[in-house]
């Protein structure tokens, strides 16, 4: 027979276990191997002017996806689009070539995402960790990711670019589903998988 | 008396030894001034000299050979530069592999195997680098000069204390002899600046569509195993990078930063061509390598780099069991040239260049570069 003390102890243990499961649940819920589906045509743009956006463009063209590419997309470019794909990463050379400063770029992207939200368009954020990738000294990409990533509806991230789970943490906090790509080559499966 | 005789004999012996050593050294030294024998393959439809396009180079050590491989159908034009930095040997070897094996059926491939021809005439002093690449082929030994990244100071001396190139970018004085710091060059500049001017002139007059500049980099530098593209070229670079990754070739891509004098910046800014600079791994140039031997030149196997790699100080995956061999480096470059050509054709179909006769990556790794460079 259980004594009162034993029952209290068992209750505490059970509650502790349940609390731990609930605390861990967001991590299980956010990271998903399943590729989410979104409608096309989609507007493809860059956040930070990383050249990785060109890889996504190439993959999209070769997969014959229905999309429009605009590196410096504005709200007016959303016309006709059913979703938005933003490739995130800062390239100072890309910004320089585009004649735009980082704070102006961040403002542009945030305005675009706000307008997309008003129109009910889902936004997919991709981080391919390439030329606009993160590094110990590179705070610029992290700063932009911190602003843009929380505003998207689905994150696709290269695993090697998120070893510290910076984006994983943003996904958990904001309850955004996240799919990790093991290599850049996985883009050939993931991007068409989202829109087909 | 005996002492005097001994002294004279000793003096004569020392003189004789000095003469022998000097003669042997001089022979090796002068051998580097002889142009390499090339064996143009069936795809070569014409040859020329850079001086044909830029008379300022005629009769100078900067003038250099150009090989044209023109297809019967119209298409794009690709220029491959080897030997911008001669000690980055896979660039030059890739270029001569193309000259001796490629056949173009559509468009045109143009190859300058020694962009810095002056630099092929010597090796960097005090580093003990092999002066020749010695390849054992089925048809016998083939010697190919290695050379230096700089032009020969015997051709132009002295260096300035500080070198400012035509764009105003400033570098240490020795960089006046580094072709990849002096673009777009100047008519009244140093020898390498005139070579740069000549190359720009050639690209514009021939209306080249794509320039590929082949290099090597040390593993401890982050710009290694990569493509660096002029901003106008990034779509092609991105497409080629993706194709190479899908073939299992580990490569990164970068956009040319705002540093001037480099081919990926100033050829792009001063011509209408797409420009990509390709880097592979070069252990021989590294700061941590052991003795610079012929074996290290060819197989890139150095246990010191295992230590450096374990400490996380290199930007490539390296183990000395596999090394970073010349065949693999040339295979990477050949595949890169082909994928850049394919990418350009995808983006602009009227600029298609179709090349045959070039081994694919796997075949070249299996057969070895010697198979494709046997003297004829």
CATH code where residue A166 lies: 3.40.50
B140-145 and A154-158 as β-strands: parallel, antiparallel, unpaired?
unpaired
Q: Tell me the three state secondary structure of residue B198.
A: helix
- When comparing pLDDT for A31 and B122, which is higher? B122
Instruction: Give the Cα-Cα-Cα angle B90, B95, B99 (nearest 5 degrees).
Output: 145
Residue of B nearest to A62 (CA): B346
Please give the average per-residue pLDDT across A48-74, as a whole number.
Answer: 94
- Cα B206 to Cα A85, A101, B52, B141, B341, distances in angstroms: 40, 37, 12, 36, 17
pLDDT value of position B376 = 84
Contacts for B58 with CB less than 8 Å, ≥ 6 apart? B49, B51
Query: pLDDT at position A19, please?
Result: 55
Measured between CA atoms, the residue of chain B closest to residue A189 is B246
Does B252 contact A54 at a Cβ distance shorter than 8 Å? no
**Statement to judge: residues A21 and A110 lie in one domain:** no
User: Which of A97-106, A116-125, B255-264 is modeled with the greatest confidence?
Assistant: A116-125
**Top-ranked range on mean pLDDT: pick from A98-112, B67-81, B220-234:** B67-81
Among A57, A96, A131, beta carbon nearest to B253? A131
Q: Does B238 touch chain A (CB under 8 A)?
A: yes
Rg (CA), chain B: 22
**Chain A residues whose beta carbon lies within 8 Å of the beta carbon of residue B345:** none
Cβ–Cβ of A51/B255 closer than 8 Å? yes
**Percent of chain B topping pLDDT 90:** 90
B239 to chain A: which residues are within 8 Å by CB?
Answer: 54-55, 58
Chain A, chain B: beta-carbon pairs less than 8 Å apart: 52
pLDDT value, residue A130: 56
Other CB atoms closer than 10 Å to residue B15's CB: what's the count?
10
User: How far is it, in rounded angstroms, from Cα B90 to Cα B339?
Assistant: 18
Cα separation of B166 and B185, whole Å? Answer: 6
pLDDT tens figures, B191-216: 999 999 999 999 999 999 999 999 99
Cα–Cα separations (whole angstroms), residue B259 to A98, A132, B168, B200:
17, 18, 11, 18
Q: What is the pLDDT of residue B306?
A: 94
**How does pLDDT run across A75-95, given as a tens digit for each residue?**
999 999 999 999 999 888 888
Asked if B89 and B114 count as a contact pair (C-beta separation under 8 A), the reply is: no
Residue A72: list chain B partners with CB under 8 A: none
Chain A residues near residue B245 by CB distance under 8 angstroms = 183-185
- For the cut 50, the answer to whether the pLDDT of residue B339 exceeds it is yes
Nearest CA in chain B to A52: B238
Q: Does the pLDDT value for residue A12 go beyond 90?
A: no
Give the pLDDT confidence of B18-45 residue by residue, as tens digits.
999 999 889 888 999 999 999 999 999 9
Higher pLDDT, A17 or B205: B205
Q: What is the rounded CA–CA span in Å between residue B147 and residue B129? A: 9
Spatial separation of the C-alpha atoms in residues B216 and B316, rounded to whole Å:
13
Local confidence band at B260 (pLDDT 50, 70, 90 cut-offs):
very high
pLDDT value, residue A26: 44
Q: List, in sequence order, every residue forming a beta bridge with B132; answer none if it has no partner.
A: B145
Instruction: Using a CB–CB cutoff of 8 Å, tell me whether B235 touches chain A.
Output: yes
Q: N- to C-terminal Cα distance for chain B? A: 62
Q: Are B286 and B220 in contact (CB under 8 A)?
A: yes
Span B297-333, pLDDT tens digits: 999 999 999 999 999 999 998 999 999 999 999 999 9
pLDDT level of residue A134 (50, 70, 90 thresholds)? low
B231 touches chain A (CB under 8 A): yes
Asked if A55's CB is within 8 angstroms of B241's CB, the reply is yes
Same domain, A140 and A89: yes
Mean pLDDT in residue range A123-133:
79
**Mean of pLDDT over chain B:** 95
| Total structural domains within chain A | 2
How far is the C-alpha of B107 from the C-alpha of B77, rounded, in Å?
Answer: 6
Which CA distances in Å does B63 have to A3, A150, B51, B141?
A: 99, 58, 6, 28
pLDDT at B79 over 80: yes
Residue A176 and residue A100 share a domain? yes
What is the C-alpha separation between B255 and B217, in angstroms, rounded?
17
Q: Are residues A93 and A170 in the same domain?
A: yes
Cβ-defined contact of A184 to B245 (cutoff 8 Å): yes
In the structure, what pLDDT confidence band is assigned to residue A135 with cuts at 50, 70 and 90? low
A140 in the same domain as A62: yes
Residue A27, pLDDT score: 44
Beta carbons within 10 angstroms of residue B315's beta carbon: 19
Regarding whether A114 and A63 lie in a shared domain, the answer is: yes
Q: Is the pLDDT of residue A132 over 60?
A: no
Show which residues on chain A lie within 8 Å of chain B, measured between beta carbons: 51-52, 54-55, 57-59, 91-94, 96-97, 130-131, 183-185, 187-188
Q: What pLDDT does residue A97 have?
A: 79
pLDDT(B268) > 70? yes
**pLDDT at residue B1 in the model:** 52
Answer whether B220 touches A (CB < 8 Å): no
User: Lowest mean pLDDT: which of A5-19, A21-35, B40-54?
Assistant: A21-35
Using an 8 Å CB-CB cutoff, list chain B residues near A55. Answer: 238-239, 241-242
How far is A57 from chain B, CA to nearest CA, in Å? 9
Residues A20, A99 share a domain:
no
- The CA distance from A82 to B81, in Å, is 46
Asked if B360 and B121 touch (Cβ cutoff 8 Å), the reply is no
Query: Shortest CA distance to A89 belongs to which of B274, B238, B281?
Result: B238
Q: Which of B246, B252, B259 is nearest to B224 (CA)?
A: B252
* Domain match, A2 and A93 both: no
Closest chain A residue to B343 measured between Cα atoms?
A58
Name the residue range of residue A9's domain: 1-30
Whole-angstrom distance, CA of residue B292 vs CA of residue B324: 14
Inter-chain residue contact B258 with A96, CB threshold 8 Å? yes
Chain Cα centroid distance, residue A63: 21
Q: Do A59 and B245 touch (CB under 8 A)?
A: no
Q: State percent of chain A over pLDDT 90.
A: 62
Give the tokens for residue B11.
Answer: 């003096």
As a whole number, the mean pLDDT across chain A is 86
Are B220 and B232 in contact, with CB atoms under 8 Å apart? no
The C-alpha atoms of residue B235 and residue B274 are separated, in whole angstroms, by: 10
Could you say which of B238, B246, B346 has the minimum Cβ distance to residue A51? B238
Beta-carbon separation of A130 and B234 below 8 A: no
User: For residue B231, which residues of chain A lie inside 8 Å, CB to CB?
Assistant: 93-94, 97
Report in angstroms the alpha-carbon separations of B251 from B140, B237, B245, B280.
34, 11, 7, 9
Q: Does one domain contain both A12 and A83?
A: no
- Tell me which long-range contacts B152-158 makes (C-beta under 8 A, separation of at least 24): B152/B61, B152/B118, B152/B119, B152/B121, B152/B122, B152/B177, B153/B177, B154/B121, B154/B122, B155/B60, B155/B61, B155/B62, B155/B118, B155/B121, B155/B191, B156/B190, B156/B191
CB A193 within 8 A of CB A168: no
pLDDT for B10 beyond 50: yes
Is any Cβ of chain A less than 8 angstroms from the Cβ of B221?
no
Reply yes or no on whether the pLDDT at A21 is more than 90: no
Distance from CA of B235 to the nearest CA of A (A): 6
User: What pLDDT is attached to residue A67?
Assistant: 97
Nearest to B199 by CA among B32, B278, B100, B83: B83
B270 near B200, Cβ under 8 Å?
yes
Residue B370, judged by CB atoms within 10 A of its CB (0-12, 13-18, 19+), counts as middle
Q: Are residues A138 and A116 in the same domain?
A: yes
Instruction: Assign B259 a pLDDT band (cuts: 50, 70, 90).
Output: confident
Residues A14 and A98 in one domain: no
CA distance A44 to chain B (A): 14
Both A13 and A74 in one domain: the answer is: no
pLDDT band at B149 (very low <50, low <70, confident <90, very high): very high
Is the pLDDT at A25 greater than 50, yes or no?
no
| Minimal Cβ distance to B255: which of A91, A184, A187 | A91
The mean pLDDT of B248-256, rounded to a whole number, is 92
Nearest to A93 among B237, B246, B256 (CB): B256
Across B133-155, average pLDDT: 95
If one counts every other C-beta atom within 10 angstroms of the C-beta of residue B134, the result is 12
Q: Is the predicted pLDDT of residue A29 greater than 50, yes or no? A: no
**Among chain B residues, CA nearest to A92:** B257
Q: CB B242 to CB A92 under 8 A?
A: no
Task: Say what the pLDDT of residue A28 is.
Answer: 43
Instruction: Write down the pLDDT at residue A7.
Output: 65
- In whole angstroms, what is the distance from residue A34 CA to residue A154 CA? 12
Q: Which residues of A159-175 are buried (b: 16+ CB within 10 A; e: fewer)?
A: eebbeeebbbebbbeee
User: Ranked by mean pLDDT, which of A9-13, A47-51, B311-315, B335-339 comes out on top?
Assistant: B335-339
Chain A residue numbers touching B256 (CB-CB < 8 A) = 93
Put simply, whether B1 touches A (Cβ < 8 Å) is no
A57 and B256 within 8 Å at the Cβ level: the answer is no
Whether the pLDDT of residue A24 is over 60: the answer is: no
Task: Report the chain A residue with the minimal C-alpha distance to residue B247.
Answer: A185
B252 touches chain A (CB under 8 A): yes
Q: Judge: A93–B239 Cβ closer than 8 Å, yes or no.
A: no
**CB under 8 Å to B186, separation ≥6 — which residues?**
B165, B166, B193, B194, B197
Task: Tell me the per-residue pLDDT of B151-204, one tens digit each, with 9 for 90 and over.
Answer: 999 999 999 999 999 999 999 999 999 999 999 999 999 999 999 999 999 999
Give the whole-number percent of chain A exceeding pLDDT 70.
Answer: 82
């Amino acid at each position: 027979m259980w004594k009162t003390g034993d029952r209290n102890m068992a209750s505490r243990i059970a509650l502790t276990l349940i609390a731990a499961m609930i605390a861990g649940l967001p991590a299980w819920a956010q990271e998903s191997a399943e590729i989410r589906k979104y409608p096309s045509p989609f507007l493809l743009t860059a956040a930070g002017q990383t050249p990785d956006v060109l890889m996504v463009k190439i993959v999209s063209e070769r997969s014959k996806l229905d999309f429009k590419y605009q590196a410096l997309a504005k709200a007016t470019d959303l016309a006709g689009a059913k979703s938005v794909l933003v490739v995130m990463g800062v390239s100072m050379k890309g910004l320089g070539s585009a004649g735009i400063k980082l704070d102006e770029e961040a403002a542009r992207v945030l305005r675009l995402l706000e307008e997309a939200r008003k129109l009910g368009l889902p936004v997919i954020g991709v981080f391919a960790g390439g030329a606009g990738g993160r590094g110990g000294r590179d705070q610029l990409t992290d700063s932009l990711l911190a602003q843009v990533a929380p505003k998207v509806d689905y994150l696709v991230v290269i695993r090697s670019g998120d070893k510290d789970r910076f984006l994983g943490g943003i996904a958990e906090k904001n309850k955004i589903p996240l799919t990790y790509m093991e290599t850049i080559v996985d883009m050939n499966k993931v991007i068409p998988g989202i829109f087909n | 008396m005996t002492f005097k005789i001994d002294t004279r004999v000793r003096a004569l012996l020392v003189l004789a030894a000095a003469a022998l050593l000097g003669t042997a050294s001089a022979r090796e030294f002068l051998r580097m001034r002889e142009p390499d024998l090339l064996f143009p393959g069936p795809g070569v439809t014409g040859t020329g000299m850079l001086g044909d396009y830029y008379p300022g180079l005629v009769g100078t050590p900067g003038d250099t050979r150009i090989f044209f491989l023109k297809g019967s159908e119209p298409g794009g034009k690709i220029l491959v530069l080897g030997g911008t930095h001669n000690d980055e040997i896979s660039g030059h070897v890739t270029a001569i592999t193309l000259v001796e094996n490629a056949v173009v059926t559509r468009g045109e491939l143009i190859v300058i195997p020694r962009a810095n021809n002056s630099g092929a005439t010597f090796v960097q002093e005090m580093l003990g680098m092999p002066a020749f690449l010695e390849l054992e082929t089925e048809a016998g030994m083939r010697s190919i000069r290695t050379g230096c990244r700089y032009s020969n100071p015997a051709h132009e001396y002295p260096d300035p204390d500080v070198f400012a190139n035509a764009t105003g970018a400033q570098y240490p004085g020795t960089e006046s002899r580094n072709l990849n710091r002096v673009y777009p060059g100047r008519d009244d500049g140093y020898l390498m600046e005139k070579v740069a001017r000549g190359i720009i002139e050639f690209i514009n007059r021939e209306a080249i569509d794509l320039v590929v500049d082949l290099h090597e980099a040390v593993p401890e530098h982050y710009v290694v195993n990569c493509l660096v593209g002029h901003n106008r070229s990034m779509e092609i670079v991105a497409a080629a990078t993706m194709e190479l990754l899908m073939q299992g070739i580990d490569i990164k891509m970068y956009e040319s930063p705002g540093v001037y004098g480099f081919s990926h910046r100033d050829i792009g800014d001063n011509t209408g061509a797409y420009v990509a600079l390709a880097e592979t791994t070069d252990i021989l140039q590294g700061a941590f390598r052991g003795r610079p031997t012929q074996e290290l030149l060819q197989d890139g196997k150095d246990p010191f780099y295992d230590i450096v790699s374990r400490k996380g100080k290199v930007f490539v995956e390296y183990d000395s069991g596999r090394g970073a061999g010349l065949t693999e480096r040339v295979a990477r470059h050949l595949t890169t040239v082909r994928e850049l050509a394919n990418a350009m054709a995808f983006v602009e179909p009227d600029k298609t260049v179709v090349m045959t006769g070039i081994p694919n990556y796997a075949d070249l790794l299996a057969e070895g570069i010697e198979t494709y460079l046997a003297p004829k």
